[in-house]
C-alpha cells in the first residue's frame, strides 16, 4: 500500500493559543458511536467545538458569506426553492487565512477519518450555508450525487455557529438511508423534496430531526438523505460545513454535474486518479483503521 503525503501543517499567528490547541486536539470517539454512525449514516457530536472557538470564527465567516452572497440584490420572494434555502459560499479556506485554520483543522480530519475507517482524509471543499431569517426549507437530497467519486467514503461535518433550535432549521436525517438507493440522481429541488419525502414515508425510514446545542456538530455520509426545515426566526441560521473524503479517493466522473464539480474542486486531477489537486490537501493521517464495509 502506498503511503499518503504528510498532512498539512498550519502555523497561524492571530488565533489565540487555546483555540489553536483545541483545533489540533483529537475528539474522543467511542467505538459504539463509530458503529452507530456507520449504521445510521449520521451522528451528532456534542461539545465538538467550544463556544469561544465558534465565537472567534463566526464574525469572519459571516462577513465573507454576506459579502459574497450571490443573491445580494434579490429578496427571498424573488428566489426559487434552492435560493430561499440558503446563501451558499464555497471554499472559504481559499479566501481567508484565518478561516483556513478551522477548515483544515486536525480535529475535524481525525473525526472524519475515524468515523469512515480511513487512514487519511483530504479536503473536498468547505462551504458556508446561511439560512436567512425567514428563509425556506432545504429539500431532501443526498450530497454525493454531485460528487465524482469512486467510493462512498466521504462525509460532511455540519457546524452551526450558534445554538440551532427547531425554528431555525437544523438538519433532519433519514436513518440508514445511505444504504438505500433513493433519489440518488436528483439535484436539490422541489422534485427531490417531493419524491424523497414520499419514499421516506413509504419505506418507513426514521426521520431524525432535533436541535443542535452550541458547539454540537453532525457528520453525515455523502449518500445519507437529509433536509432542513425553514428558518422562522428573525436571525440567520449560520452554518459552516467541511466535506472530507478518503485520502485515496479516485476521480470517477459520470455526469455533467460531476464534471462541473471536477472543474471547480479538483481541476488538475485526471479521471481514474487519486484526487490530489492542491485544493485537496491531506488534513489528517493516522494509523490504519478498520475499513468501512459498505
Ligand X SMILES: O=C(O)CCC(=O)C(=O)O
Which grid cell sits at 130?
446561511
Minimal distance, residue 156 CB to ligand X, in Å: 5
Distance CA 91, CA 129 (A): 12
Distance CA 273, CA 265 (A): 14
Q: Is residue 86 a contact point for ligand X (CB under 6 A)?
A: yes
Nearer to ligand X, 129 or 251 (CB): 129
Give the torsion through C-alpha atoms of 160, 26, 104, 271, to 10 deg.
-110
Give the torsion through C-alpha atoms of 70, 99, 280, 157, to 10 deg.
-80
Residue 294: count other Cβ atoms within 10 Å of its Cβ: 12
Q: Is residue 132 a contact point for ligand X (CB under 6 A)?
A: no
Which grid cell sits at 171?
438538519
How many Cα atoms sit within 13 Å of 15 on the Cβ side?
25
Nearer to ligand X, 19 or 283 (CB): 283
Nearer to ligand X, 135 or 276 (CB): 135
Task: Give residues 21-50 in contact with ligand X (rule: CB under 6 A).
Answer: none
Tally of residues, the chain: 294
Minimal distance, residue 280 CB to ligand X, in Å: 18
Give the torsion through C-alpha atoms of 131, 133, 135, 140, to 10 deg.
40
String marking each residue 153-192 x if it binds ligand X according to CB under 6 A: ---x-x----------------------------------
Minimal distance, residue 160 CB to ligand X, in Å: 9
Q: Are 243 and 83 in contact (CB under 8 A)?
A: no
Which grid cell sits at 220?
453525515
Minimal distance, residue 285 CB to ligand X, in Å: 25
Nearer to ligand X, 56 or 240 (CB): 240
Minimal distance, residue 127 CB to ligand X, in Å: 7
Q: Is residue 143 a contact point for ligand X (CB under 6 A)?
A: yes
Minimal distance, residue 143 CB to ligand X, in Å: 5
The footprint of ligand X on this chain (CB under 6 A) covers a number of residues equal to 12
Minimal distance, residue 268 CB to ligand X, in Å: 25
Nearer to ligand X, 23 or 171 (CB): 171
Task: Give residues 208-267 in contact with ligand X (rule: CB under 6 A).
Answer: 226, 228, 239, 241
Which grid cell sits at 265?
474542486
Among 138, 177, 218, 231, binds ligand X (CB under 6 A): 138
Residue 67: count other Cβ atoms within 10 Å of its Cβ: 10
Distance CA 266, CA 270 (A): 9
Q: Are 155 and 243 in contact (CB under 8 A)?
A: yes
Nearer to ligand X, 20 or 258 (CB): 258
Minimal distance, residue 179 CB to ligand X, in Å: 18
Nearer to ligand X, 22 or 143 (CB): 143
DSSP string, 125-142: EEEEEEB-TT--PEEEE-
Distance CA 31, CA 247 (A): 22
Task: Give residues 273-292 in contact with ligand X (rule: CB under 6 A).
Answer: none
- Residues at the interface with ligand X (CB under 6 A): 85-86, 129, 131, 138, 143, 156, 158, 226, 228, 239, 241
Amino acid at each position: 500500500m502506498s503511503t499518503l503525503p504528510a498532512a498539512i501543517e498550519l502555523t497561524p499567528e492571530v488565533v489565540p493559543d487555546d483555540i489553536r490547541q483545541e483545533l489540533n486536539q483529537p475528539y474522543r470517539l467511542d467505538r459504539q458511536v463509530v458503529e452507530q454512525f456507520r449504521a445510521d449514516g449520521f451522528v451528532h457530536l456534542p461539545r465538538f467545538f467550544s463556544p469561544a472557538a465558534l465565537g472567534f470564527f463566526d464574525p469572519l465567516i459571516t462577513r465573507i458569506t454576506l459579502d459574497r452572497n450571490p443573491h445580494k440584490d434579490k429578496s427571498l420572494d424573488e428566489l426559487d426553492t434552492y435560493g430561499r434555502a440558503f446563501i451558499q459560499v464555497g471554499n472559504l479556506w481559499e479566501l481567508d487565512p484565518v478561516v483556513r485554520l478551522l477548515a483544515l483543522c486536525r480535529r475535524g480530519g481525525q473525526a472524519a477519518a475515524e468515523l469512515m475507517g480511513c487512514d487519511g482524509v483530504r479536503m473536498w471543499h468547505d462551504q458556508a450555508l446561511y439560512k436567512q431569517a425567514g428563509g425556506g426549507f432545504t429539500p431532501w437530497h443526498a450530497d454525493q450525487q454531485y460528487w465524482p467519486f469512486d467510493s462512498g467514503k466521504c462525509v460532511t461535518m455540519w457546524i452551526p455557529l450558534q445554538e440551532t433550535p427547531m425554528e431555525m432549521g437544523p438538519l433532519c436525517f433519514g436513518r440508514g438511508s445511505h444504504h438505500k438507493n433513493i433519489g440518488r440522481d436528483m439535484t436539490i429541488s422541489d422534485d427531490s423534496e417531493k419524491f424523497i419525502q414520499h419514499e421516506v414515508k413509504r419505506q418507513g425510514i426514521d426521520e431524525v430531526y432535533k436541535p443542535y446545542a452550541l458547539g454540537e456538530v453532525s457528520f453525515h455520509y455523502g449518500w445519507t438523505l437529509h433536509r432542513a426545515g425553514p428558518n422562522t426566526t428573525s436571525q440567520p441560521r449560520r452554518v459552516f460545513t467541511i466535506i472530507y473524503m478518503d485520502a485515496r479517493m479516485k476521480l470517477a466522473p459520470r455526469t455533467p454535474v460531476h464534471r462541473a464539480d471536477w472543474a471547480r474542486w479538483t481541476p488538475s486531477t485526471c479521471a481514474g486518479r487519486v484526487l490530489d489537486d492542491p485544493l485537496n490537501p491531506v488534513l489528517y493521517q493516522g494509523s490504519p483503521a478498520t475499513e468501512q464495509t459498505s
